[in-house]
């Protein structure tokens, strides 16, 4: 049976006009040098020897600001991938870039060479946070680039945004501002990356000097979990929460919020918050926790963390599977 696959190529720093406060692309991607277009072509030929589902498979260029690299290099990368799109082996090419790296002329070229999805590194929609973290663009740049992509004639690009939480200068007000602005743009996809402070970055200097203290894992999960739910309820598909697991990140991080299963932690936290709400109506003791079978592990929490949380408060929950339940819901009942 054909399988889904994203065939991703990381191009660290290539095309970035400046170094943002948090940036250590080589640590994030695990790559030390940019791959060549010839190697992209070779790896794609190898990848498509497998039976992949062309309706869900994408070729992706991540890691740098793709549309800001020298034009001949950008075209060479896209021309290495475009034959596989034209042959119907995949649904298109996905790339990430800066909001100020989008123009009508750039979109014409991307459309011609098979690009179907564009992700913009917005990071924040608070201009003060963007400036402090040396992003070099504004929130309006994100809005304008998003509108150009959305309204491009004849080529329905999928619009994705990438945002971060916990950047230097961010507070609850700025998180709310960013969430509201992103929901107004209403991207097709969204990636949420809690800040991880890596060695050799400006944030590492600010952390070590005491000027900056990023939210830790527990705090991040607490505010990120309901944020994730609100985005999905608004119809935005959140396709990534947290950085991909890697040994480089685990050895180079100095602070912030990192976990190899960040999304699962957030989903378990949503169940815990709902447990807390429902348990307020019951006396302490033994109770039934009714949940869909697909959600048993999330409701229980990682290493039974949610059940242990309840036990510490005097509630002893026995999970009962109920296929009539919505996978996002729980119901607490008396024994």
DSSP 171-224: -HHHHHHHHHHHHHH--SEEEEEE-EEETTSHHHHHHHHTS-----HHHHHHHH
What pLDDT does 30 receive?
A: 45
What pLDDT does 34 receive?
A: 79
Distance of CA 287 to the CA centre of its chain: 36
pTM comes to 0.90
Domain limits, CATH 3.40.1260.20, in the chain = 275-334
What is the second-level CATH architecture of the domain 6-260?
Alpha-Beta Barrel (3.20)
Rg of the chain (C-alpha set): 22
Q: Cα separation of 159 and 146, whole Å? A: 7
What is the second-level CATH architecture of the domain 275-334?
3-Layer(aba) Sandwich (3.40)
Q: Cα separation of 27 and 280, whole Å? A: 45
Work out the burial of residue 23: count CB atoms within 10 Å of its CB; fewer than 13 is exposed, 13-18 middle, 19 or more buried. buried
Residue 288 backbone phi and psi in degrees, to 5: -105, 135
Q: Cα separation of 204 and 206, whole Å? A: 5
Report the 10 Å Cβ neighbour count for 223.
Answer: 17
What pLDDT does 175 receive?
A: 97
Mean pLDDT by 10 residues, the chain (335 residues): 74 71 63 82 96 93 88 96 96 96 96 96 98 96 97 91 98 97 97 96 96 97 96 94 90 95 96 97 98 96 96 98 95 95
Domain limits, CATH 3.20.20.70, in the chain = 6-260
């Amino acid at each position: 049976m054909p399988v889904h696959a994203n065939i991703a190529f990381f191009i660290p720093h290539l095309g970035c006009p400046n170094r943002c406060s948090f940036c250590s692309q080589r640590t994030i991607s695990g790559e030390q040098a940019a791959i060549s277009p010839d190697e992209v072509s070779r790896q794609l030929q190898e990848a498509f020897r497998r039976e992949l589902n062309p309706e869900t498979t994408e070729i992706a260029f991540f890691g740098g600001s793709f549309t800001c690299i020298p034009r001949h290099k950008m075209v060479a990368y896209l021309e290495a991938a475009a034959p596989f799109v034209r042959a119907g082996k995949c649904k298109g090419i996905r790339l990430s870039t800066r909001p100020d790296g989008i123009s009508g002329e750039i979109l014409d070229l991307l459309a011609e060479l098979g690009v179907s999805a564009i992700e913009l590194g917005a990071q924040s929609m608070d201009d003060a946070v963007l400036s402090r973290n040396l992003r070099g663009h504004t929130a309006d740049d994100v809005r304008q680039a998003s509108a150009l992509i959305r309204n491009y004639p004849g080529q329905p690009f999928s619009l994705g945004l990438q945002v971060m939480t916990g950047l230097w200068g961010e507070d609850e007000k700025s998180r709310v501002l960013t969430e509201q602005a992103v929901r107004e743009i209403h991207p097709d996809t969204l990636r949420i990356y809690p800040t991880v402070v890596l060695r050799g970055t400006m944030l590492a200097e600010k952390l070590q000097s005491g000027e900056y203290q990023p939210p830790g894992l527990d705090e991040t999960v607490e505010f990120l979990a309901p944020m994730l739910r609100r985005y999905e309820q608004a119809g935005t598909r959140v396709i990534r929460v947290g950085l991909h697991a890697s040994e480089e990140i685990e050895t180079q991080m100095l602070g912030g919020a990192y976990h190899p299963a960040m999304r699962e932690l957030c989903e378990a936290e949503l169940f815990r918050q709902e447990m807390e709400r429902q348990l307020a109506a019951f006396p302490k003791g033994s109770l039934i926790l009714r949940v869909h079978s697909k959600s048993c592990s999330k409701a229980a929490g990682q290493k039974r963390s949610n059940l242990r949380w309840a036990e510490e408060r005097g509630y002893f929950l026995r999970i009962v599977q109920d296929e009539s339940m919505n996978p996002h819901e729980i119901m607490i009942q008396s024994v």
